[in-house]
Amino acid sequence: MLDALTVAVSVAALALAAWCGFAAYRDQPTKDWHFIGMAVVSVLALAQLVVGIVRLAGGGEADEGTAIFLAYLIGAVCAVPAAGFLSLAERTRWGSATVAAGALVLAVLEVRLYDIWTR
Amino acid sequence: MAGRGLARGPGMLLVWLYGVMSVGAVSRSVLQIATEFDRAPLAYTLSALAAVVYVFITYTLVRGGETARKAALVCCAAELVGVLTVGTWTLVDPGAFPDATVWSDYGYGYVFIPVLLPVTGILWLRKARRPSPA
């Protein structure tokens, strides 16, 4: 896959996790700026999905299989928006903690995605 | 939210984590059982069982209410027993498991979340107990 993009998504996800984790630590709910951050991370993940599909269409092959690769790509796109949606319903520090957990899940998915593509 | 008291505060974080584990375990078992069940029937059956438990706990947390709280408590206990049993089993008799389950080695492949989740779940469910409004 595109290693630079995988690294970019991972770094952005970890930054978002730290940022929202800090908000949770300071007893604050997610705010507009956090949602902009989530949008940036989600756009990166979406770009990754597109690149992944293009690579598959271009004859590329994931080492652990196309189905697993696609499932993880889709999971990566959904992780942060889903957590952000929950944080809209939970306007306390725990909403921020949920987004932080969501971003961490995304970072883990990125590591797995790298493994799945090349081993 | 329709839930009364279970999906609020720390409960929301639990809903998220159980939701993630549900999606992960369900898609994993569907894929494995559909494509290569014969390779490791025991491991894949146990993964599917774990998936069902995760989905059910997520549902009860979101639904809320005293009955759901008790059901979730029972399932968290079952989950903990399951993780500990399967975790020990995979360490003692690796030969029985040609492929990993969600609960192999106490959830090592999932950053030990499978063994931490039921404990925090039980703590939260006990704390969330309150006289149910009539």
Q: Does B8 sit within 8 Å of A101, measured CB to CB? A: no
How large is the average pLDDT for residues B99-104?
86
pLDDT in tens, A102-117: 999 999 999 999 999 9
Residue A112: both structure tokens together: 């797995």
> What is the DSSP code (8-state) at residue B11?
H
Query: What confidence tier does B14 reach under pLDDT thresholds 50, 70, 90?
Result: very high
The structural domains of chain A, with segments of one domain joined by +, span 3-117
More confidently predicted of A80 and B134: A80
Q: Does B10 sit within 8 Å of A94, measured CB to CB? A: yes
Residue B5 covered by a domain: no
Residue B45: both structure tokens together: 């059956």
Q: Does B102 touch chain A (CB under 8 A)?
A: no
The answer to whether B47 and B25 have CB atoms below 8 angstroms apart is yes
Q: In terms of C-beta density within 10 A (0-12 exposed, 13-18 middle, 19 or more buried), how is residue B104 classed?
A: buried
Q: How many CA atoms lie within 13 A of A30 on its CB side?
A: 30
Q: Does B14 touch chain A (CB under 8 A)?
A: no
Query: What confidence tier does A8 reach under pLDDT thresholds 50, 70, 90?
Result: very high
pLDDT of residue B2: 42
Query: What confidence tier does B134 reach under pLDDT thresholds 50, 70, 90?
Result: very low
pLDDT of residue B73: 95
The answer to whether A111 and A39 have CB atoms below 8 angstroms apart is no
What interface predicted TM-score (ipTM) does this complex get? 0.92
Q: Which residues of A touch B16 (CB under 8 A)?
A: 82-83, 86, 98, 101-102
The answer to whether A69 and A52 have CB atoms below 8 angstroms apart is yes
pLDDT of residue B1: 42
Residue B2 covered by a domain: no
Answer yes or no: is pLDDT of A26 > 60: yes
pLDDT in tens, A60-96: 889 888 999 999 999 999 999 999 999 999 999 999 9
pLDDT of residue B102: 86
Backbone phi and psi for residue A42, each to the nearest 5 degrees, phi listed first: -65, -40
Interface-testing mutation among A27, A90, A109, with chain B (most B C-beta atoms within 10 A)? A90
Q: Which residues of B touch A68 (CB under 8 A)?
A: 31
Range of the structural domain that residue B38 is part of? 10-127
Residue B29 covered by a domain: yes
Residue B41: both structure tokens together: 């029937």
Answer yes or no: is pLDDT of B130 > 90: no
Residue B21 covered by a domain: yes
Question: What is the amino acid identity at position A25?
Answer: Y
What whole-number distance in Å separates Cα of residue A109 and Cα of residue A88?
23
- Indicate the average pLDDT of chain B: 89
Per the structure, the count of domains in chain B is: 1
Q: Does B19 sit within 8 Å of A82, measured CB to CB? A: yes
Residue B90 covered by a domain: yes
Residue B87: both structure tokens together: 């975790």
- Cα three-residue angle B31-B12-B120, rounded to 5 degrees: 80
